[in-house]
Structure 1
Amino acid sequence: MALKDTLKQKIEAHRPRTTRLTKEFGKVIIDQVTIDQCIGGARDIRSLVTDISYLDPQEGIRFRGKTIPETFEALPKAAGSAYPTVESFWYFLLTGDVPTQAQVDEVVAEWKTRQNVPSYVFDAIRALPRDSHPMVMLSVGIMAMQKDSKFAAFYNSGKFNKMVAWESVYEDASDIVARIPIVAAFIYNLKYKGDKQIAIDPKLDMGANFAHMIGQSDQYKDVARMYFILHSDHESGNVSAHTTHLVHSALSDPYYAYSAGLNGLAGPLHGLANQEVLGWIMEFQKKLNGAEPTKENVTKALWDTLNAGQVVPGYGHAVLRKTDPRYTAQREFCLNTPGLKDDPLFKLVAMIFETAPGVLTEHGKTKNPWPNVDAQSGVIQWYYGVKEWDFYTVLFGVGRALGCMANITWDRGLGYAIERPKSVTTDMLEKWAAEGGRKF
């Protein structure tokens, strides 16, 4: 059965659950809001719904109920690889089912029909100043494709029906996830390789084809597959996922929605962090003056950083209270890759991992002294020769498209309402603070 048909059955079976919860239990209280949450970015307020992924503070991310190791183990692998294809993961995110190899092959074939990017998209990107940030180029590339949105066409047709609106969202979402690696590879070659473009190889899966299009080795195919899956989704509250959900809740089509999500991802407190971490590690390496990293000299350098009033980037997380499993997955890749495990930069990262949690715990100002995904990812890219730091967030954006597009497909399938939180004034907060709380 084709993916879209399977998804239709899943959505129609799920709708009664949402309807019943709203009608029969809509007034059940599931959380309380404090003043510091109201001022502090709505932290930890349970007010979004997604079944795509869940972030547990102690366990880390689960995709459709499976941990990262369980996900990698369960999904069909790419030919000759220990890693699954991105296409198999897309099927899994949308349906919650582990696909058969035949179902994966269907998705691979479907993406081949969708991955041809119109030439005007490349023309729009080329029209930008060449020194534009690659995330600007990616956002513009996504927006340039908007004129062909099937959801927008359906809405404007005069035949819009909210019960089947998800189908045109699925079409746009599938086009975006199939095309975004092609656009990203084009941007890489335009900015860093003198606009020497490499054509699509129709025989390759998405991750392998991306590696091919940026001129990478066969070994990098697994890096791409792993990277895109690990960065795909982190439940709905992070900036890129939430922004995509918010914009699409106004029935803006997936192109508008994901371009907005990418613009949030470009922030230094979100996707740009991986670039900043690598820069910090490079400077850290200079402080060792060529010495082999040891617990003693790394500990001293970490304390020097903290005593100077600086943070240790790549450590700590808004939700997690343990080592980020995405960090662990990348670390295991490094340890299992000859050459990479002996790379000087990785050896430094590994020693920081052994040392930093103890230093940060003793320092006492970090809730979570463990590394997050950004502490490792840039080192792998650097090792394989992708040394253009400002491109790293584009890689993040390619992977994050999977989770964002799966989520908004389900948003429309379940008919979620436009998002519209209620605001309060500072005067109100001060009044309630003086009274010990709001009087209902």
Structure 2
Amino acid sequence: MKEKQSAQALFELTTDHLETGLRGVPVGYCPTSLVHPEKGLFYRGYSIVDLVTKPPEAVIYLILNGELPTERELSVFKESLCENAHASKDILKTLQSYPKHIHPTKLFIAALTLVGAYDIKKDLRESGTQLIARITELTAWVYRVLNNWGPVNESKPELGYIENFVHMLAPPGVDIAKLTSYMKYFLILHLDHGGGNLSTFVGKVVASAHSDLSESLVAAMAGLAGPLHGKANQESLKFLKEAATHISDPDDEAQVEAFIRQKIAHKEKIFGFGHAVLRTEDLRATVQYDLGDKLCPSDPTFRLAKTFRKVGPGVLSEFKKISNPYPNVDAVSGCLLSALGLSDENYYTVLFGMARCIGITAQIFYDRLIARGGRGTPIVRPKYLYNGPVR
């Protein structure tokens, strides 16, 4: 079917498409996930709503292999994650030597680089399993090293993928059960999001040169670190915190509406709303609003986020330039992380990256090992038109 599709004209390319960030320009296939404008996010044909209550390991297996696992397959996959879960302690020692003022995302990128230096296997699938098994440990190390929370808890992968992550993270004064419950949702909701978002695309481009998985993910995470991409969840929390200084009652719809209108009047961004593809509320946000009602219903920032959810679409829809006035995943993820004990928003991109590296890995598997009948995609080599002087 794909051979036939490849011979079809997909759309007309004109000079108007140049220097627009390839927006809307198809460049390949993505079998792992679909972002439908009205129905939301799907992984391998399953709506994200139907997946968030499943074990994270089962959803990771689905992303990697195309089908939900049987009980036996899930058991074997969990065993594989356990066997590959321990990263070299030399990586931790090196991370501890970095300056403590470094941004967490930079240290996370350094950790991925070091995995490539110490741990990565040559076989692509083996290195993928290894990296997925260890990325929670790397993320916990980044948190604990920069926060001076004391010795890092020893990895206990037999606890479960996210259970072990929270065990290693062990933030002081936190309800571990609630944080674990939320992080399972957070991981699943952020695993994958089509092939055209910047970090995924960059990772796939670098992988097309047959760079190893560590190098490809380092490039992807450098893209994620940009303020126009992976920092959206932390910017949304900052936005809510700013709003809270102007709004005396987080449940007061009139005050929230006035704040939104004031921001628009000053041509300032309303963080957490809108999406490049979606034309309705992001189901990843819907799921999190419901979860927040169970885990932290009285948290003032979460209550404020819910009021923005009620008021925002009505106000934003008045402006024709806004194609999607509805909340996206970032509208609520930051305030839930904060409410459940991870209050420093500078680390949110690292948590995002921890999850997204898994989806990017699955897409690299497809591009390198499955695409074009197993030949893989060629090295990415677009054409740029010269527009300099002619002498």
Q: TM-score range by the shorter chain?
A: over 0.9
What corresponds to 1:355 in structure 2? 311
Is the contact made by 1:315 and 1:372 (CA closer than 8 Å) also made in structure 2? yes
One-letter code aligned to 1:322: T
**1:70 to partner: Cα distance:** 2.2
Give me the CA root mean square deviation. 1.7
Is the contact made by 1:54 and 1:62 (CA closer than 8 Å) also made in structure 2? yes
Is the contact made by 2:244 and 2:250 (CA closer than 8 Å) also made in structure 1? no
SS where residue 384 of structure 2 aligns?
A: coil
What corresponds to 1:327 in structure 2? 285
Q: Counterparts of 2:262 and 2:360 in 1: how far apart (Å)?
A: 40
- Kindly indicate whether residue 63 of structure 2 is the aligned counterpart of residue 93 of structure 1: yes
Shift in alpha-carbon separation, 1:207–1:425, aligned structure 2, 3 A: same
- Kindly indicate whether residue 383 of structure 2 is the aligned counterpart of residue 422 of structure 1: yes
The runs of 5 or more residues in structure 2 that have no matched partner are: 371-375
- Kindly indicate whether residue 146 of structure 2 is the aligned counterpart of residue 146 of structure 1: no
- Kindly indicate whether residue 101 of structure 2 is the aligned counterpart of residue 131 of structure 1: yes
Is the contact made by 2:85 and 2:134 (CA closer than 8 Å) also made in structure 1? yes
What corresponds to 2:342 in structure 1? 386
- Kindly indicate whether residue 241 of structure 2 is the aligned counterpart of residue 270 of structure 1: no
**1:102 to partner: Cα distance:** 2.3
**1:27 to partner: Cα distance:** 3.5
- Of 248-257 and 120-129, the range deviating more from structure 2: 120-129
Shift in alpha-carbon separation, 1:236–1:112, aligned structure 2, 3 A: same
Q: Counterparts of 2:278 and 2:157 in 1: how far apart (Å)?
A: 40
SS where residue 45 of structure 1 aligns?
A: coil
Shift in alpha-carbon separation, 1:246–1:292, aligned structure 2, 3 A: closer
Shift in alpha-carbon separation, 1:371–1:35, aligned structure 2, 3 A: farther
**1:258 to partner: Cα distance:** 0.3
Q: Counterparts of 2:36 and 2:274 in 1: how far apart (Å)?
A: 15
SS where residue 41 of structure 2 aligns?
A: strand
One-letter code aligned to 1:378: G
Identity %: 29
- Kindly indicate whether residue 4 of structure 2 is the aligned counterpart of residue 34 of structure 1: no
Is the contact made by 2:250 and 2:307 (CA closer than 8 Å) also made in structure 1? no
One-letter code aligned to 2:21: G
- Kindly indicate whether residue 131 of structure 2 is the aligned counterpart of residue 176 of structure 1: yes
Is the contact made by 1:88 and 1:104 (CA closer than 8 Å) also made in structure 2? yes
| 1:312-338 C-alpha deviation (Å, 9 max, x unpaired) | 01111111111111111111111233x
What corresponds to 1:44 in structure 2? 24
Is the contact made by 1:124 and 1:140 (CA closer than 8 Å) also made in structure 2? no
Is the contact made by 1:315 and 1:370 (CA closer than 8 Å) also made in structure 2? yes
**1:426 to partner: Cα distance:** 3.9
Is the contact made by 1:48 and 1:237 (CA closer than 8 Å) also made in structure 2? no
Is the contact made by 1:294 and 1:351 (CA closer than 8 Å) also made in structure 2? yes
**1:59 to partner: Cα distance:** 1.6
Shift in alpha-carbon separation, 1:124–1:286, aligned structure 2, 3 A: same
What corresponds to 1:155 in structure 2? none
What corresponds to 2:373 in structure 1? none
Is the contact made by 1:317 and 1:372 (CA closer than 8 Å) also made in structure 2? yes
Give matches, 1:54-65, under 5 Å: 54-65=34-45
Is the contact made by 1:210 and 1:224 (CA closer than 8 Å) also made in structure 2? no
What corresponds to 1:343 in structure 2? 299
**1:35 to partner: Cα distance:** 2.9
What corresponds to 2:256 in structure 1? 298
- Kindly indicate whether residue 213 of structure 2 is the aligned counterpart of residue 254 of structure 1: yes
Shift in alpha-carbon separation, 1:292–1:111, aligned structure 2, 3 A: closer
| 1:354-394 C-alpha deviation (Å, 9 max, x unpaired) | 10111111133312111111111011111111011110000
SS where residue 42 of structure 2 aligns?
A: strand
Q: Counterparts of 1:336 and 1:105 in 2: how far apart (Å)?
A: 30
TM-score by length of 1: 0.83
One-letter code aligned to 1:421: P
Shift in alpha-carbon separation, 1:36–1:326, aligned structure 2, 3 A: farther
SS where residue 291 of structure 1 aligns?
A: coil
Aligned residues: 379
Q: Counterparts of 1:292 and 1:373 in 2: how far apart (Å)?
A: 20
What corresponds to 1:221 in structure 2? 180
One-letter code aligned to 2:153: I
Which residue, 82, 86, 92 being the options, matches 1:122? Answer: 92
- Kindly indicate whether residue 382 of structure 2 is the aligned counterpart of residue 402 of structure 1: no
What corresponds to 1:201 in structure 2? 156
What corresponds to 2:143 in structure 1? 188
Q: Counterparts of 1:131 and 1:248 in 2: how far apart (Å)?
A: 31
